[in-house]
Amino acid sequence: MRKTTTRLRLAGALAALLLSAGAPVAQADEQEPPTLAELAQRHGRYFGSATDNPELTDEPYKAVLGTEFDMITPGNGMKWYATEPQQGVFDFSKGDEIVNLARANHQRVRGHTLVWHSQLPGWLTSRAWTADELRAVLKKHIQTEVRHYKGRIYAWDVVNEAFNEDGTYRETIFYKTLGPGYIADALRWAHQADPKAALYLNDYNVEGIGPKSDAYHQLVKELKAQGVPIDGFGLQAHLALQYGYPSTLEDNLRRFSRLGLDTALTEVDVRMYVPADEAKLAMQAQWYRDMTEACLAVRRCVGITLWDYTDKYSWIPAFFEGEGAALPWDEQLEPKPAYFAIREALK
């Protein structure tokens, strides 16, 4: 009581002093609009962005990355080609750079990704492996990486993009050599290495209910029944205006919640044919709003991550000819209608 009074008196005296000196007292602070992260936190959610090492020399870019978001995903720095460039030789420098930056900014990190058919090192893809050999290689890779980041990763995308569009298993090196059991093994190994990290399966084109998301639903049921550690399902949400909005997103999120899983939108972008125009940007804004509202409507949808936040560093133009403008900030780091739509949805 006494302490509080003293402190209040002190604060009052300080304010009076500053006022008399003509300094604006705390006003700048009060007028600062809340960030996406702060708005999301009011709903018990996070709002994140991916980032990539080469971009981290761009100071204006870094300023927004460091303030607007509370969850960071390395876009490439934790992938197998980056972390184990030679067999048994590990390099965590890229991932470390991003984890250290995130920690300095009081942000959490989603680890991406331990098992994926793409961006694998040459030593792994250029020879044949027996099942026993590959199992040992996979276990060592997962456990070395997860142990390295132990306690510093909120959630791991343990297996990425395991299914085809029709819901059959993708014929990856892991599936072909080890069979479907590689997924349960990967989850168990990751759990051993960091029991506190949330473990996710993650994929694209699984936002709506359909054969591919059905396959995950079925797999998760089986994994749960077998006692395999699985905590979440990541829906990448790489959407494109020309393909239509996945109107069953909310129902889909809900059915995974009912299996006892967290869900998250993990790599969100909404691409369009460029040049962008007012109508396309308005539709894009509506989709961002709808996705945000869908996540907020489902209790166990824990957060949303943009696949980087600015068109300046989007992966889209390099992968889809004639498409782009997919993110809520433009190439000049100016917020687009989508940014304001997300804010409104979070308010």
Q: Decide if residue 125 touches ligand 9MR (CB under 6 A).
A: no
Nearer to ligand 9MR, 6 or 118 (CB): 118
Under the criterion CB under 6 A, does residue 75 sit at the interface with ligand 9MR?
yes
Q: What are phi and psi of 72, to 5 degrees?
A: -125, 140
83 binds ligand 9MR (CB under 6 A): no
Tokens representing residue 256 in the block? 């995974």
- Residues within window 1-60 making contact with ligand 9MR, judged by CB under 6 A: none
Least Å distance, CB 143 to ligand 9MR, is 21
Closest distance between ligand 9MR and the C-beta of residue 313, in Å? 9
Axis-axis angle for helices 131-148, 182-193 (nearest 10): 30
In terms of CB distance, is 246 or 337 closer to ligand 9MR? 246
Q: Which two tokens stand for residue 232?
A: 């979440």
**Length, in residues, of the chain:** 347
Omega before 275 within 30 of 0, i.e. cis: yes
Among 76, 172, 263, 284, binds ligand 9MR (CB under 6 A): 76
Residues between 229 and 248 that touch ligand 9MR (CB under 6 A): 236
Query: In the numeric block, which tokens belong to residue 163?
Result: 């299914």
d(CA 67, CA 102): 10
Question: Catalytic pick from 97, 267, 278, 344?
Answer: 267
In whole angstroms, what is the distance from residue 258 CA to residue 300 CA? 9
Q: What would the two tokens of residue 15 be?
A: 């304010």
Q: Least separation, in Å, of the C-beta of 157 and ligand 9MR? A: 8
C-alpha 260 chain-centroid distance: 20
- CA-CA distance, 218 to 261, in Å (whole number)? 13
Closest distance to ligand 9MR from the beta carbon of 132 (Å): 28
Q: Active-site residue 331, yes or no?
A: no
- 315 belongs to the binding site for ligand 9MR (CB under 6 A): yes
Comparing CB distances to ligand 9MR, the nearer of 160 and 263 is 160
39/315 with CB nearer ligand 9MR: 315
Can you name the residues that pair with 263 across neighbouring β-strands? 233, 301
Minimum distance of ligand 9MR from residue 76's CB (angstroms):
5
Paired with 270 in beta bridges are: 239
- Of these, 87, 100, 118, 125, which contacts ligand 9MR (CB under 6 A)? 118
Task: Convert residues 184-213 into a mask of x (bound to ligand 9MR by CB under 6 A) and - (unbound).
Answer: --------------------x---------
* Residue among 117 and 140 whose Cβ is closer to ligand 9MR: 117
Structure tokens of 33? 């609009």
For the question of residue 55 being annotated catalytic, the response is no
Inter-CA distances, 329 with 38, 227, 251, 281, Å: 18, 42, 29, 11
Contact 272, 316 (CB under 8 A): no
CB of 190 to ligand 9MR, least distance (A): 17
Tokens describing residue 23: 């300094």
Binding site for ligand 9MR (CB under 6 A): 75-76, 118-119, 160, 204, 236, 267, 315
Q: Which residues are catalytic?
A: 161, 267
